[in-house]
Amino acid sequence: MTLIDQVNWSSYDEDVLGSMFEGLLEKAANESKKGAGQYFTPRPLINTIVQVMKPNPFESQNFTLSDVACGTGGFIISSYEWFKRQQSTKLLSAEDKIKLFNKTYFGQELVTRPRRMAQMNLFLHGIEPNIKLGDTIYDPFDKNLFSCILTNPPFGNKGLNQIPDRKDFRIKTSNKQLNFVQHVLNSLQDNGRTAIVLPDNVLSDEKALELWKITMPEYNVHTILKLPNGTFLPYANVKAVVVFIQKGSPTKHIWFYDARTNIPSVTKKGRPLTDNHFFDFIENYGERPDGDAQRIDGGDDGRFRKFGIDQIRARNYNLDISWLIENESIEDNYFEIEDITNDTISELESIIDSLKELSNLLEKK
């Protein structure tokens, strides 16, 4: 804090101030398992999602972007920085600047401290800090709709662990991640798009199968990215995916990209997550945010595969699909003791979450 106080903040422009603050957030996240870290999505992952989703504030007159579990505001800032690389904000008209900085970026956060950090993050980038404080899935639906939603909802079932009293939720469950999916889908404008970071269990849990079954006739679940093991260490050691969805057309097929199998696990220090983990995915995804670019199925030995809706129906909408053969020698003997303890904690938390879900079901009977 002494170093921060010694900085003459007023001597820097907004771009420098914002970058400095982002750097401080990242440093805090990397150095501690507590504090900012648990609300800080790895920037290589955020930047990858933003790059393929291309959130251009001027693609339509009413374009808006939201992160419904925004933490320190990483998705919002990365989206803004992506746009700046496409077009200089200095060349915008006064009217367009008002739209960009005041009427484009929105967020919501449950916890006061990260919400304040997100507000400061946006403010230092010159963006109106439209960050709502509240519970995204348990508070009443405010019916605000957005063109693009990029989000990484919190993993696990810490919190109320109850079924939300939301009439707009068609699947009744206490599974927090499934409820975030329902909220996001209901919050999209017509032809809106989203990318949601989710744990693997959202691909195959019983309630998840129900959700995907009723979702796919109305939404195009077009791409699923399987993330490397250890992506969120040390804050959460769960296997996770990114699900890309476009509103307004039914799902005809789903493309899966496996960035996990036969990839050495990410570790906090020795093998951190970098942009290199996602270069091939970005290239294969293509130039269209809606996933409709020309793509090539890599076959049984490739990382990018296409599965038709008939194949998905035959699996009863279970989206936990694997095809690559695991090569155990890839991992070699490299490990960190922290990884082992986190693996154990993750397994125990998964068991506890399952027991809580069962308890809720039994209470209804």
Question: Residue 197 in contact with residue 41, Cβ under 8 Å?
Answer: yes
The pLDDT value recorded for residue 5 is: 46
Are the CB atoms for 95 and 133 separated by under 8 Å? no
Buried b (16+ CB within 10 A) or exposed e, 228-254: bbbbbbbbbbbbbbbbbbbbeeebebb
What pLDDT, on the 0 to 100 scale, is given for residue 35?
Answer: 46
Residue 258 to residue 200: CA distance in whole angstroms: 13
pLDDT score recorded for residue 49:
98
| Confidence (pTM) | 0.85
pLDDT at 357: 62
Location of structure tokens 């922290």: 338
**HSE-CB of 151 using CA atoms within 13 angstroms:** 30
104 touches 57 (CB < 8 A): yes
Binned average pLDDT, 10 residues per bin, the chain of 365 residues: 45 52 57 50 94 97 96 93 93 96 96 88 91 95 96 75 91 94 98 97 95 98 96 83 98 98 86 94 97 96 97 98 84 53 61 64 59
Q: Give the Cα separation of 307 and 321 in Å (integer).
A: 9
**Domain positions in the chain:** 40-364
Nearest to 122 by CA among 7, 14, 12: 14
Q: What is the reported pLDDT for 129?
A: 94
**What is the secondary structure of 141-189 as a DSSP string?**
P----EEEEEE-PPPS--S--S----TT-SS----HHHHHHHHHHHTEE
- From CA 145, how far away is CA 280, in angstroms rounded? 32
- Single out the residue of 222, 242, 209, 197 nearest to residue 309, CA to CA: 222
Structure confidence at residue 333 (pLDDT):
47
For residue 36, what pLDDT is reported? 45
Fill in the DSSP letter of residue 122.
H
pLDDT at 20: 56
DSSP secondary-structure letter at 321? Answer: -
Q: Two tokens at 70?
A: 């925004």
Please list, residue by residue across 339-357, b when 16 or more beta carbons sit within 10 angstroms of its beta carbon and e when fewer do. beebbeebeebeeebeeeb
Spatial strand order in the sheet of 188-199: 131-133, 105-109, 65-67, 146-151, 188-199, 240-247, 219-226, 253-258, 304-308
Q: Which CATH superfamily is domain 40-364 in?
A: Vaccinia Virus protein VP39 (3.40.50.150)
